[in-house]
Amino acid sequence: MSLAGRLYKLQQLDLELQERQQELSDVENKLSDRKALLSAETKLASQKEQLEDARKKQKSSEWELDDLQEKIRQVDGKLYGGRTKDPKELVNLEKEVKGLKSQIRAKEDSLLGSMSQVEQIESDVRATVEESEHLKREWAERQETLGPRKGELEIELAGLKAERSRLVQQIDSEAFNIYERIRLARGQAVVKVERGRCLGCHIAVPTSQWQKVKTGDLTQCNNCSRILYLE
Ligand SMILES: [Zn+2]
Burial class of residue 19, CB neighbours in 10 A (0-12, 13-18, 19+): exposed
Ligand 1 geometric centre to CA of 227 (Å):
8
Ligand 1 geometric centre to CA of 19 (Å):
25
Q: What is d(CA 49, CA 140) in angstroms, rounded to the nearest whole number?
A: 28
Average pLDDT over residues 83-99: 91
Q: What is the pLDDT of residue 11?
A: 97
Ligand 1 geometric centre to CA of 228 (Å):
8
Ligand 1 geometric centre to CA of 205 (Å):
8
Ligand 1 geometric centre to CA of 199 (Å):
7
Ligand 1 geometric centre to CA of 201 (Å):
4
For strands 190-194 and 197-198, give the pairing.
Answer: antiparallel
Nearest Cα neighbor of 178 from 219, 231, 222 is 219
Angle (deg, nearest 10), helices 87-169 and 35-80: 170
Ligand 1 geometric centre to CA of 8 (Å):
15
Ligand 1 geometric centre to CA of 80 (Å):
111
Tens digits of residue pLDDT in 109-165 = 999 999 999 999 999 999 999 999 999 999 999 999 999 999 999 999 999 999 999
Read out DSSP for 150-168?
HHHHHHHHHHHHHHHHHHH
Average pLDDT over residues 39-57: 97
Q: What is the pLDDT of residue 81?
A: 86
Nearest Cα neighbor of 171 from 60, 39, 7 is 7
Count Cα atoms within 13 angstroms, Cβ side, for 170. Answer: 14
Tens digits of residue pLDDT in 157-199 = 999 999 999 999 999 999 999 999 999 999 999 999 999 999 9
Ligand 1 geometric centre to CA of 140 (Å):
50
DSSP-based three-state secondary structure for 227: strand
Q: What is the pLDDT of residue 9?
A: 97
Ligand 1 geometric centre to CA of 7 (Å):
16
Ligand 1 geometric centre to CA of 11 (Å):
16
